[in-house]
Structure 1
Amino acid sequence: MTGLQVLQPGPLSLLQDGGRFGWQHLGVSPAGPLDLSAAAWANHLLGNHWGSPLLEVALGGLTLRSQVDTWVAVCGADLPISVDGLPRPNWSRFALHAGQQLHLGFARSGQRAYLAVAGGFTAPPQLGSVATQQREGIGGLHGDGRALQTGDLLRCASAALACVASVPWRYIPDYQQLALLRVITGGDALSFNEDQLQSFFAQHWSLSPQSNRMGARLCGTPLLAPALLPARQWSQGVSSGAIQVPGDGQPIILMADRQSMGGYPLLGWLHPLDLGRLAQVPAHHEVGFTAISLSDAQAELRCFYRFFRG
């Protein structure tokens, strides 16, 4: 099988799919795309199944040469897209013919773009998934957690679609606006003093450059975390979006490559669909938070999955 050859991999381009589930009891994180919405739109534009393998391209700088006649879709960070030097629109699908070069320039806003191909990329699964997890050295094109490298071949089949298509404008986020992220309070939230909870929601937090696919670290006026209850003598299971408050009072929001256990107090959980918006925030830029009820978050998530998964 032929596919797309990597001429320039960019700073960090990772093969991802819907995630690796069912192994967290052994400490294996789910991985998968950081921006679930952008990845879902890229696959949806091509008629791919939910979670079909695609590329997460951090910052841009990716160049591929096609060996097949196929169609691709790019969604996410605002970056220049071209085929043989001719521009192509973001949040859209378009044809890519054998011998042509596809180039993704560097992001003007946002941090991650998602490149899907009709039918999805093909790679040997590890523990049921091709999702790349660099820290654990699992998944990806070679099964060892490596990012894409020059000379790699992204295997895919030829495909033909009827015409170009784009995501409706109202569903395309503006990454230049302040990210106001929704939080489901819970966990140890009642153990925090009320003024500390108000401080979390009232201030704007800066995203630390130490953030990565494992966790987004916030910088701001420190929170005074409550002392853990004497009954808790061990760590507990954590999920993506969990907002941990370590001893320095600077919250950490767990992302796709997170650990599976944690002992820091939990203030709550970020709305699952807002994790993607957080993943598009550059270092040193500010984010804000607002509260949302569990029922409202669940209702929105049901609509999301009903649309993309059918």
Structure 2
Amino acid sequence: MRIEVLSKGLFSLIIDNGRVGRQRDGFCESGPMDSNAYDWANFLAFNLDGTPCIEAIGEMRLRVDEDCIIAVTGRNPSLDIDGNAKTTYQSQKVPAGATITFGSTSLGCKAYLAVGGNWQVPKAVGSACTVVREQLGGLDNKGSVLKEGDCIEVLANTRNQDSAKMRTLPQQHIDDYGFLESIRVIPGYQFSSFSTVAMRTFETSSYTVSSAIDRMGFRLTGEPVTADIENMRSEAIHLGAIQVPGDGQPIVMMRDRQTLGGYPKLGCVSPCDISRLAQAMPGEKVNFVFQHEEEARADWLLMTSRRRRLQGEIL
């Protein structure tokens, strides 16, 4: 099956679960910005975990030349097939020759399109994920974003397609992408280098998501916080690490972050909240609260357990 790109949207990439464990070799982790939405898209499209899909900002249009099953997820996602609006977070059958239009109704947010089957896309360093900055991955394996005229080959999974029970994620289980609840932060290595006043300032202030955001990092603006470290050795940077440069304005490191950094870090955004933060739009305000690492671990295990149980109920 060929998926032809008719309209590329604002910024659309082929992604998978990333280059896990390859930071030590100098490659960024990459992967989906919103891993929750990515995982659900593949599940609803009857794909295995880690199957490539499309992460799109802006409205994207594609045409398929064979029958297939798709799913669209993300923050406020939209989907129509041949001009007919369809439900997102649900398996959808698409006939051969149909045009798929999908995206997010919130400007700048990410939508995910999964197409059921085995994606025939090149892999580099164990992943099909596109990293523009490293010129790695993508259809040309040079880190190029998707463009009009590109064609993606997928070996569609046609087994029992006609009789397959379509999957739906109930509305009450779709992630809440609002920011009424604070983003949880696990204290980091340099936590003790920030004063009590700085910590209190960080927890009691609202920070605005700036326009300087991308897959590498989210720069926030608000009350400055500083550490008493003037010089430090560069060290590995984890997903969600909150670096504080000299101006005191926090930067949350995201999927395409560099492998090393030399700024002090307040801590790391909880893996339970990083997908929500990744869908924030410029101008939105977020608050943070520190959380003990054991509590964060328990939250993560509980969230993962609930997802697996829910998937079992949907099957």
1:137 aligned to which of 135, 138, 142: 135
Q: Does 1:287 align with 2:286?
A: yes
Kept in 2, the 8 Å contact 1:180–1:288? The answer is yes
Kept in 1, the 8 Å contact 2:56–2:103? The answer is no
Q: Report the alpha carbon displacement of residue 65 of structure 1 after superposing the two structures with TM.
A: 0.4
Where does residue 86 of structure 2 map in the other structure? 88
* 1:45-56 mapped onto 2 (5 Å cutoff): 45-56=44-55
* 1:172-183 mapped onto 2 (5 Å cutoff): 172-178=174-180, 180-183=182-185
Kept in 2, the 8 Å contact 1:216–1:255? The answer is yes
- Taking the aligned partners of 1:295 and 1:38, their CA distance within structure 2 comes to 25
Where does residue 263 of structure 1 map in the other structure? 262
Larger mean Cα displacement after TM superposition, 37-46 or 19-28: 19-28
Residue identity in the other structure for 1:48: N
Where does residue 197 of structure 1 map in the other structure? 199
Larger mean Cα displacement after TM superposition, 289-298 or 206-215: 289-298
Residue identity in the other structure for 2:8: P
Q: Report the alpha carbon displacement of residue 157 of structure 1 after superposing the two structures with TM.
A: 2.0
Larger mean Cα displacement after TM superposition, 180-189 or 11-20: 180-189
Gaps of 5+ in 1: none
Residue identity in the other structure for 1:284: G
Where does residue 222 of structure 2 map in the other structure? 220
- Taking the aligned partners of 1:141 and 1:256, their CA distance within structure 2 comes to 19
Q: Report the alpha carbon displacement of residue 303 of structure 1 after superposing the two structures with TM.
A: 4.1
Q: Report the alpha carbon displacement of residue 279 of structure 1 after superposing the two structures with TM.
A: 1.2
SS at match of 1:103: strand
- Taking the aligned partners of 2:104 and 2:236, their CA distance within structure 1 comes to 37
* 1:29-48 mapped onto 2 (5 Å cutoff): 29-48=28-47
Where does residue 100 of structure 1 map in the other structure? 98
SS at match of 1:253: strand
Where does residue 12 of structure 1 map in the other structure? 11
Structure 1 residues 130 and 305, CA gap change in structure 2 (3 angstroms): farther
Q: Report the alpha carbon displacement of residue 173 of structure 1 after superposing the two structures with TM.
A: 2.5
Q: Report the alpha carbon displacement of residue 25 of structure 1 after superposing the two structures with TM.
A: 2.0
- Taking the aligned partners of 1:299 and 1:174, their CA distance within structure 2 comes to 20
SS at match of 2:287: strand
- Taking the aligned partners of 1:184 and 1:256, their CA distance within structure 2 comes to 18
Structure 1 residues 26 and 5, CA gap change in structure 2 (3 angstroms): same
Kept in 2, the 8 Å contact 1:78–1:90? The answer is no
- Taking the aligned partners of 1:302 and 1:143, their CA distance within structure 2 comes to 35
- Taking the aligned partners of 1:184 and 1:104, their CA distance within structure 2 comes to 35
- Taking the aligned partners of 1:212 and 1:179, their CA distance within structure 2 comes to 23
Gaps of 5+ in 2: none
Residue identity in the other structure for 1:140: G
SS at match of 1:41: helix
Residue identity in the other structure for 1:11: L
- Taking the aligned partners of 1:33 and 1:201, their CA distance within structure 2 comes to 28
Where does residue 109 of structure 2 map in the other structure? 111
- Taking the aligned partners of 2:248 and 2:179, their CA distance within structure 1 comes to 26
- Taking the aligned partners of 1:248 and 1:81, their CA distance within structure 2 comes to 42
SS at match of 1:114: strand
Where does residue 23 of structure 1 map in the other structure? 22
- Taking the aligned partners of 2:49 and 2:72, their CA distance within structure 1 comes to 16
- Taking the aligned partners of 1:155 and 1:299, their CA distance within structure 2 comes to 40
- 1:117-140 deviation line (CA, Å, top 9, x unaligned): 112532011011001100000011
Q: Report the alpha carbon displacement of residue 289 of structure 1 after superposing the two structures with TM.
A: 1.0
- Taking the aligned partners of 2:179 and 2:268, their CA distance within structure 1 comes to 22
Where does residue 187 of structure 2 map in the other structure? 185
Kept in 1, the 8 Å contact 2:207–2:222? The answer is yes
Instruction: Please provide the CA RMSD for this pair.
Output: 2.0
Tell me the TM-score normalised to structure 2 length: 0.91
Kept in 1, the 8 Å contact 2:239–2:254? The answer is yes
- Taking the aligned partners of 1:120 and 1:287, their CA distance within structure 2 comes to 38
- Taking the aligned partners of 2:181 and 2:276, their CA distance within structure 1 comes to 7
Structure 1 residues 303 and 125, CA gap change in structure 2 (3 angstroms): farther
2:65 aligned to which of 64, 67, 72: 67
- Taking the aligned partners of 2:289 and 2:172, their CA distance within structure 1 comes to 22
1:153 aligned to which of 145, 151, 154: 151
Structure 1 residues 269 and 55, CA gap change in structure 2 (3 angstroms): same
Q: Report the alpha carbon displacement of residue 179 of structure 1 after superposing the two structures with TM.
A: 5.7
* 1:224-263 mapped onto 2 (5 Å cutoff): 224-228=226-230, 232=232, 234-263=233-262
- Matched residue count: 305
